Amino acid sequence: MSTASRPTPLLIRPDKETFLNEANPFEAMMSRFDYAAQRLSLDPGLYKVLRSPEKQIIVSVPILRDTGDVEVYTGFRVLYNTSRGPAKGGIRFDMNVTLDEVKALAAWMTWKCAVVNIPFGGSKGGVICDPPTLSNAELERITRRYTSAIIETLGPDSDVPAPDMNTNERMMAWIMDTYSMHKRHTVTSVVTGKPVEMGGSLGRREATGRGCMIVTREALKKLRMPIAGTRVAVQGFGNVGSIAAELMEALGLTVVAVSDKSGAIYNPKGLRIKEVQQHVKEHRFLSEYREAESIGNDELLTIDCDVLVPAALENVITSKNARDVKARIICEGANGPTTANADRILEENGIFVIPDILANAGGVTVSYFEWVQDRGGYFWDEETVNQRLERIMVQSFDEVAAMAGKHASSMRIGAYMQAIERVAAVHRLRGMYA
């Protein structure tokens, strides 16, 4: 990309606090929000409203362990903004869950839903716990007790959870059942990401990875890069990363590296993703895979490739390693994988970033489809789901690219501007209740 055609670098406050808080997801998200709001000349009153979460809940989650001991966990639920519709957002179980992280994720969900123009606001939840050390029965008790603790906020018209880190469709079934028992009738639309047998949508499990593939394909078209010969590295081989890798390989891209928490594997001629998936199914981790070279997780981020898909953790591309990223395109399969300080460096180096609030919006889009199907009691076949997802992701990519072009900004700031403009428009129309 020539210097003349590069986007205007993101303006980040050069104060000391910004750099010290690089790992804080809420600060990272808000630095982008602040800059986009400034570029939009957002009304100061609306700026204050959109910068503040509507509701922050902290609950105790006491359960009886299998040993007979009582343990008390801490849970969070944040509703960030519900002006465009019910709040929508996942629930994660992890030892590193914090209120700041949940606030950031709830805000990201708000902007994500607005970017793809579906009628949801944003929320997020989490429980501080260590799932690998808990039995299935203990996980069920935590899930049900947490659900009952936040049940006043939940509902098809108010707040609709979904799976996230270390949660799955079985846990969503427990949430639906707990909520339904309290309401005394079955309410399938209170949660998405459920088993298909109880109102889940076909295509939901693959949706986030499929969305990543679609927007990567559109970015290649925009940059006039060929499909054949384009090399992809995927950080994270969970649901999002493994499906994105599989679908990108099927598209004709060459996946040269993938990783999980045990390490990364690399083959410059291309991995056979189906074989890698089968290995993980049998052995759980990539570390024992012998048909490719073993490399470090950090090395994967800076490996020689054309497309990098960070699809695992937050804050993996930072000011410390951003200058070493060699990819031409970054497709953010995870939430918040790039810090605000790293954004500036990537833009200076002419790297085309498909931001998380666009790149991984396929999941919430098909969650919306699931909610619609549950409420209507009429279910679509998988081809219909995928066709409608394709239409929304392509249109959203084009709209963000147009916004970025109009304001001579990066795709990330273009996405934030698109989202903020849509949420702000609804606030203006609704007015202020007093």
The pLDDT value recorded for residue 31 is: 86
Answer yes or no: 261 catalytic: no
pLDDT score at 95: 96
**Percent of the chain residues topping a pLDDT of 70:** 95
148 phi and psi, to 5 degrees? -65, -30
Report d(CA 8, CA 39) in Å as an integer. Answer: 12
Q: What is the mean pLDDT of the chain?
A: 92
Q: pLDDT by residue (tens digit) across 397-410?
A: 999 999 999 999 99
Please report, for the chain, the start and end positions of each structural domain, with discontinuous segments joined by +: 1-51+203-359+410-422, 53-188
Q: 242 pLDDT exceeds 90?
A: yes
Calculate mean pLDDT across residues 387-400.
98
Whether the pLDDT of residue 9 is over 50: the answer is no
Asked if the domains 1-51+203-359+410-422 and 53-188 are classified in one and the same CATH topology, the answer is yes
Residue 22 pLDDT grade (very low, low, confident, very high; cuts 50, 70, 90): low
Q: What is the pLDDT of residue 370?
A: 98
pLDDT of residue 351 exceeding 60: yes
Q: Report pLDDT for 44.
A: 93
Q: At 141, give phi and psi (nearest 5°).
A: -65, -40
Mind listing the pLDDT tens digit for each residue in 268-281? Answer: 999 999 999 999 98
For domain 53-188, the question of CATH label 3.40.50.10860 is answered with yes
46-60 pLDDT, tens digit each: 999 999 999 999 999
- Answer whether residue 11 shows pLDDT above 50: no
**% of the chain beyond a pLDDT of 90:** 85
Give the pLDDT confidence of 91-123 residue by residue, as tens digits. Answer: 999 999 999 999 989 999 999 999 999 999 999
Catalytic residue among 88, 124, 281, 326: 124
Tell me, what's the pLDDT at 290?
85
- Confidence grade of residue 20 (pLDDT, cut at 50, 70, 90): very low
Domain 1-51+203-359+410-422: CATH superfamily is: NAD(P)-binding Rossmann-like Domain (3.40.50.720)
Predicted confidence band at 16 (pLDDT cuts at 50, 70, 90)?
very low
Q: What is the pLDDT of residue 142?
A: 98
Q: What is the H or E stretch that residue 413 is in?
A: helix 411-430
More confident residue, 358 or 21: 358
What per-residue confidence (pLDDT) applies to 422? 97
**Spatial distance between the Cα atoms of 360 and 91, rounded to a whole number of angstroms:** 16
Range of lowest pLDDT (4-18, 121-135, 166-180, 321-335): 4-18
**3-class state of residue 265 by DSSP:** strand
Taken in order 231, 236, 240, 243, the sign of the CA dihedral is: positive
pLDDT digits (tens, 9 = 90+) for 280-310: 988 888 988 888 999 999 999 999 999 999 9
DSSP assignments along 51-116, one per residue: TS-SEEEEEEEEEE-TTS-EEEEEEEEEEEE-TTSSEEEEEEE-TT--HHHHHHHHHHHHHHHHHT
Rounded to 5°, the CA angle 277-283-287 comes to 85
Q: Taking residues 59-72, what's their average pLDDT?
A: 97
Higher-scoring residue by pLDDT: 238, 88? 88
Category of 6 on φ-ψ map: left (φ > 0), alpha (ψ -120 to 50) or beta: beta
pLDDT the model gives residue 7: 39
Q: How far is CA 15 from CA 19, 99, 346, in A?
A: 7, 24, 20
Please tell me the predicted confidence (pLDDT) of residue 5.
39
- Give the pLDDT confidence score for residue 146 in this predicted structure: 98
| E strand residue ranges, 121-238 | 121-128, 159-163, 231-235
Strands (E), 290-393: 293-295, 307-310, 329-331, 352-354
* Stretch 60-70: mean pLDDT: 97
193: left (phi over 0), alpha (psi -120 to 50) or beta: left
